[in-house]
Structure 1
């Protein structure tokens, strides 16, 4: 019997799921679009729901589209060009504050895995070994050092800026958005930016290529607990309330598929997850992605619920001058109805 690689086996599994779904849904499959910001593993629940066939089994003919950043993903959802997005939970809060009521449907983590401060290697080699020392350094033209995030107002920016605020350093740097994986790493490589705030996969590639080194790890549990205080929903799937109202059955299908994807991830090893999502995260190496997937498993939310205590911890980060978000109640942010129905249909 011929040997079959794990990747081939996963492809067969996905194809089988798709075939089954086609028989179930037939011509009644609901067309849809799921939006993810950039090509990194933190958005893996959407990737798994697509690759393993859960979207199709739920009766969805779903296309995954890359938004380019968290803010752009939010704009796509706001314009109803996408059914469901994934990103920082402040995105639906921003929409609600601006008259487009939106809801988090399914949180995917309990702390951020993408607030690693990656400093240019040449600056680290000069002896800059803390954020305080970094903010005292000036660029050759005398300007403040530049900190890059994927997008201003996105996950990296929201949480890294909070760390800097608590240290009294936020006004001593210039923040810029540099987009997707390739452009973020390119900006660090070319020294257009001095620190890149991102995740473990980008740190690993930056170190391997001699472009950057870790300066401050905001994903570390001890550091997170010191500044944040414990579990907080950071990233989640979200949509407009109007989209739920328009087609609740369709949105239930999304949430059910994504819940199943989260449970699949929980039951599989990092290499199996990587083999499934590789087509979506090919901009960084297998080694880098494997390390990041393993780190995500440590912070993942496999329960799908947001309690009052975790919401309260997040309030000091979400509702401040930097974000411009006016305070909201948990009921104004979280829709728990769809995830509870998914949990009943497919107990974790």
Structure 2
């Protein structure tokens, strides 16, 4: 089990306390932030780039699209990227496998991307609940196919938990279909029966006549019924070796991303969209603004994980489906960088 050593902790604290306001060296630091796919949930990276917070923190950044949450995790693990954004289970998976994954800060308090989008033709046939879906068969007699961006990614972790709790998870076949275009394409071409994703993809599929909402796992009442309250779902993460190699760079990332979160908090959905449009152009302005508005309702603008929310998420993270062995909060969460950023730039 990966542990934060006393030396590593002191390095983090010392670096965070002295470097929040900017880099402690004259030269610009090259940086590689990694995001999974082109949807607004990853907007804090996009804003930090477009508004100039990375640059102001002394970073010369090239944002890289990983292609999925799992691929993003692999890029961070191999040190080909500095800071990734994705489901909190990604750094937990790394910690379980000797790569010392570290959560730098959360971005939300519940998932915004567990909307079950069913093919419109199946809905018209009367398949209007998850139970009815699992009772149906594909033309070749196989179980219904549920698509997520990547197996083990955010959509899969949370949608499978809902389905497990209802006793339905084993009655469907789960597949990963990648980025926005391929996810929507799999629904349009009827290669899958249900797509689990976010509001922007729901709106796009409805506009095109391909899909409609079957089950909304983002709804606060449904979330509270099955999950029980606030839980960090998405986070910025890295690995301890990247922290140890260059604490000033990680502090610069944390400072820029904290400032981006505060910018999002104080600007309208239209303004956020105008800032991030180059990154989310695969879906319409209307669809993206709907999702950005929804994200504001679940955002964690404090960017700090508390013990109660971590404990609440354990039943989802540490189960057979994820394969993650239980971790203490102190083994994976490193709050010092964001706390230093908050002190330098009060929200």
Q: Is contact 2:44-2:260 (8 Å) kept?
A: yes
Cα distance between partner residues in 2 of 1:151 and 1:340: 32
* Partner Cα separation in structure 2 for residue 148 and residue 27 of structure 1: 47
Contact 2:28–2:58 (CA under 8 A) maintained in structure 1: yes
Alignment of 1:22-61 (within 5 A): 28-61=27-60
What is the match of residue 10 of structure 1? none
Aligned equivalent of 2:63: 64
What is aligned with 1:330? Answer: 329
Q: Aligned-pair distance for 1:253?
A: 0.3
The 8 Å contact of residues 92 and 101 in structure 1, kept in 2 or not, is answered as yes
Partner of residue 155, structure 2: 156
CA distance in 2, matches of 1:222, 1:128: 23
Distance 1:179 1:140 in 2: 24
How far does residue 25 in structure 1 lie from its aligned partner after superposition?
Answer: 9.7
**Contact conserved, 2:24 with 2:248, CA < 8 A, in 1?**
no
- Separation of aligned partners in 1, 2:312 and 2:24: 42
- Deviation string for 1:18-58 (max 9, x for gaps)? xxxxxx99971000100000000000000000000000000
Deviation of 1:119 after TM superposition, in Å, equals 0.2
The answer to whether the 8 Å contact 1:107/1:305 transfers is yes
Q: What is the match of residue 118 of structure 1?
A: 117
TM-score (norm 2): 0.93
| Contact 1:120/1:194 (8 A) holds in 2 | yes
Q: Is the 8 A contact 2:91 2:101 kept in 1?
A: yes
What is aligned with 1:253?
Answer: 252
Preserved CA contact (<8 Å) 1:25 1:57: no
SS in 2 for 1:117: strand
Match of 2:292 in 1: 293
Is 162-171 or 24-33 further displaced after alignment? 24-33
Partner of 2:3: none
State the Cα RMSD in Å: 1.0
> Mind listing any 5+ residue stretches in structure 1 that lack a counterpart?
1-23
Structure 2: how far apart are the matches of 1:34 and 1:250?
11
Question: What is the aligned partner in structure 2 of residue 221 from structure 1?
Answer: 220
- Could you tell me how far 1:102 is from its partner in structure 2? 1.2
How far apart are residue 333 of structure 1 and its match? 1.5
Matched residues in 1 for 2:248 and 2:113: separation?
33
1:307 aligns with 2:315: no
**Partner of residue 267, structure 1:** 266
Per-residue CA distance 1:240-277 (angstroms, 9 max, x = gap): 01111111111000000000000000000000000000
Gaps of 5+ in 2: 1-22
Q: Does 1:141 align with 2:140?
A: yes
TM-score when scaled to structure 1?
0.92
Query: For residues 44 and 27 of structure 1, what CA distance do their matches in structure 2 show?
Result: 29
Aligned to 1:86: 85
In the alignment, the residues of structure 2 paired with residue 157 and residue 71 of structure 1 have an alpha-carbon distance, to the nearest angstrom, of 11
**1:34, 1:63 within 8 Å by CA — same for their partners in 2?**
yes
Q: Distance in 1 between matches of 2:323 and 2:296?
A: 31
